[in-house]
Amino acid sequence: MDLSVVIPAYNEAESIPLLVAEVCNCLDGELDYELVVVDDCSSDSTLEVLRTSRGQHARLRVLHHGSRSGQSAAISSGVQAARAHWIATLDGDGQNDPADILKLYMAMEQSPQEVLLIAGYRRLRRDSWLKRVSSRVANKVRAAVLGDATPDSGCGLKLFSRATFLALPQFDHMHRFLPALVRRLGGTVQSVEVRHRPRQRGKSKYGLHNRLWAGIVDLLGVWWLQRRTFRPDVSEPG
């Protein structure tokens, strides 16, 4: 199998069936893949909609959290269950264009690195002005503090190896810091420009107030991890 596509979903009953169909349409005939959607204990009909979609798309697998665990936990559950070596992630709201999965996959094939993260870069954001400004500020602060050399760390569209992800420290909100965490392993991060679409259905789960303070704490935590990392130069003399 070439690729496992992992999508975390919470209360995306309106968006997720169309997104599942779109991912399958983009990848059918291009790659040997599976699509793993993780329902993070949605309070709407997301799980029921996914069960229906599973009957229409043979490559779809559905996982369900028994309690709300957060986006990072949903991504982690999907990666752990994945069967392919390479993993692509995207958000469940439909704002990431599934056609860009192949763009990231081709960038991976052209790279000689094994510990690698291909990160989507939404140069043209299709969000409200407040969300665009807050994201731009967050990216600049994150880059200054962590040196992750990534213009859009928060983009949900990413590609990495399963082994790389499982080697990272697992904590709530860790998906926002994947570039810095991969670089901490000594890996390479490459940004690829991708498309971004306006949200057509459902409601955003994130706002300025529910991300600000947690983001500051997480940023300091990742900064601490970086300062405590060691990679000795080990050799076995002959």
DSSP state of 124: S
Q: Is residue 233 part of a domain?
A: no
Q: Hunting for tokens 């559905």 — which residue is that?
A: 62
DSSP state letter for 170: P
Other C-beta atoms closer than 10 Å to the C-beta of 200 total 11
Q: Token pair of 25, please?
A: 């349409």
Q: Is residue 232 part of a domain?
A: no
Q: Which of 78, 68, 39 is nearest to 160 (CA)?
A: 78
* Residue 9 maps to a domain: yes
Domain presence at residue 57: yes
Number of domains in the chain: 1
CA atoms within 13 A on the CB side of 104: 33
- Residue 234 included in any domain: no
Classify residue 213: in a domain, yes or no: yes
Residue 82's domain is classified under what CATH number?
3.90.550.10
Q: Which amino acid is at 103?
A: K
In tens digits, what is the pLDDT along the chain, a chain of 238 residues? 999 999 999 999 999 999 999 999 999 999 999 999 999 999 999 999 999 999 999 999 999 999 999 999 999 999 999 999 999 999 999 999 999 999 999 999 998 777 789 999 988 877 666 666 666 777 677 777 888 878 998 899 999 999 999 999 999 999 999 999 999 998 999 999 999 988 777 566 555 555 665 677 788 878 888 888 877 778 788 7
Residue 71 structural domain: 3-227
- Of 169, 6, 156, 158, the closest CA to residue 74 belongs to 6
**For residue 237, is it within any domain?**
no
Global pTM value: 0.86
Query: Per the domain annotation, does 112 fall within a domain?
Result: yes
Packing angle between helix 129-146 and helix 208-227, nearest 10 degrees? 10
In this structure, which amino acid lies at residue 57?
A: H
